[in-house]
Structure 1
Amino acid sequence: MTLAYPDRFYPVVDSLVLLVDLARTGVGTIQLRVKGLPEGQATALVREAVEAVAGLPVRLVVNDYWRAAIAGGAKHLHLGQEDLATADVAAIRAAGLTLGLSTHDEAELDTALAHRPDYIALGPIYPTTVKTMRFPPQGLERIRVWKQRIGAIPLVAIGGITLERAPDVYAAGADSIAVVTDVAGAADPVARAREWLALEPAGE
């Protein structure tokens, strides 16, 4: 199955250079996640990113900076629960942005579903060193439970997922896998991305 949005392979990057390189490689959905920027810098970054991938067949997802996403002309947004709590979802929707939301437990899933998101992200599936997590690894069984609950809404699995683990994650019910370290931290991120693009989910 190939989703219109998000694609089943969904890298997360913090570099405009890598963003463009992956987009030119054929990656269909890429999240730009750069933490700790003031609003003005965030807006400038979003504008630069939107311009950088203009004309390329990629969906650029802005992480967290919803005001910058609107002002910078982005079309896709991802919010964590803390950012969701202070975001103006009505303004985000009025601007025509899609909205993906992170979840880690049942309460967060209930909150996310109330906003009728375009996808639900669940994580971390495996231990991850990308950031300190308040939640333990979710494991594959939680993917099955989440997918049963959300039905047709795309489920994005994230956290500690490598190419080698991907078949099990897809088989558990994930529609999409968001990848940070396994691509951005690779010796050759573009080559690693090509390996991901060549991977068929279990059952196909």
Structure 2
Amino acid sequence: MLAPFYLIVDDLQWLERLCPQGLRLAQLRIKHKSPSERLEAVSAALVTARAHSCTLVINDHWETAIETGADWLHLGQEDLDTADMVAIKRAGLKLGISTHTEAELDRALTFDPDYVALGPIFPARGKTVDYAPQGIARLTTWRERISCPLIAIGGIRLEHAAEIYAAGAHSICVITDVLNDADPENRCRDWIKASGTSKSQ
């Protein structure tokens, strides 16, 4: 079962800092590293995450996820064009897929994903995106169409949490609301408390 609070990080140091706070679901989004550096980084991140019972999702790099023995993979729509889905399924990787439109959701569901992410719910603060904000109401529409967990992402702040969970999101994924906070550890703990994530989850 996926934890209801989901944090995206780009470096092992964040896992080392925030897993001890009770973080139980994280995505490692690595950019601009060589294949060997990426392999080393993912391997180290898996060790840290597993030591704290944190589910670690590897973003994009399906070959690295397979090579390191990761359990979870997240793919964007563009990644679906090039990823070897047969190899991914053969390796037993659980799969999350990003969606932004009805057509993308239709496509994602053909891959039998283990979760679907919808975003951006609000204007994204962590990266530039090509899609307009979806709004909270669309979460309810997506929830009615899928049987797997639904992840809400994009511009979400802690004060939005209750309304987003009520709309049908199984989990809320954030980046900047924690990582850009003056006290990331405290902000992470606040999210964990608001989401009902327990340290044993």
Q: Give the alignment's TM-score, normalised by structure 1.
A: 0.92
Q: What's the counterpart of residue 189 of structure 2?
A: 194
RMSD of aligned residue pairs (Cα, Å): 1.3
Residues 161 and 195, structure 2, Cα contact 8 Å, conserved in 1: no
Q: Which runs of 5+ in 2 are unaligned?
A: 197-201
2:40 to 30, 34, 44: 44
Residues 103-142 of structure 1: pairs in structure 2 closer than 5 A: 103-142=99-138
- Output aligned runs, 1:26-45, within 5 Å: 26-45=22-41
Match of 1:81 in 2: 77
Distance in 1 between the 2:195 and 2:184 partners?
19
Stretches of 4+ aligned residues off by more than 4 angstroms: none
Quote the offset at 1:51 in angstroms. 2.2
Pairwise CA distance, 1:21: 2.0
Bigger mean CA offset, 34-43 vs 141-150:
34-43
SS in 2 for 1:112: helix
Q: CA deviation at 1:102?
A: 0.2
Is structure 2 residue 148 aligned with structure 1 residue 161? no
Distance (Å, rounded) in 2 between the aligned partners of 1:126 and 1:71 = 35
Q: Give the letter for the 2:80 counterpart.
A: L
**2:53 maps to what in 1?**
57
Match of 1:49, as an amino acid? A
Partner of 2:173: 178
Cα separation, 2, equivalents of 1:54 and 1:173: 28
Aligned residues of 1:14 and 1:32 also touching (Cα < 8 A): yes
- Asked if structure 2 preserves the Cα contact closer than 8 Å seen for 1:26 and 1:57, the reply is no
- The alignment partner of 1:70 has SS state of helix
Post-superposition shift, 1:38?
3.1
Q: Give yes or no for contact 1:19–1:32 (8 Å, CA) kept in 2.
A: no
Which amino acid in 2 is paired with 1:173?
G
The alignment covers a number of residue pairs equal to 196
Quote the offset at 1:200 in angstroms. 4.6
2:5 touches 2:195 (CA, 8 Å); kept in 1?
Answer: no
TM-score with structure 2 length normalisation?
0.93
Alpha-carbon separation, structure 2, partners of 1:112 and 1:75: 19
* C-alpha spacing 1:93/1:144, structure 2 compared with 1 (3 Å): same
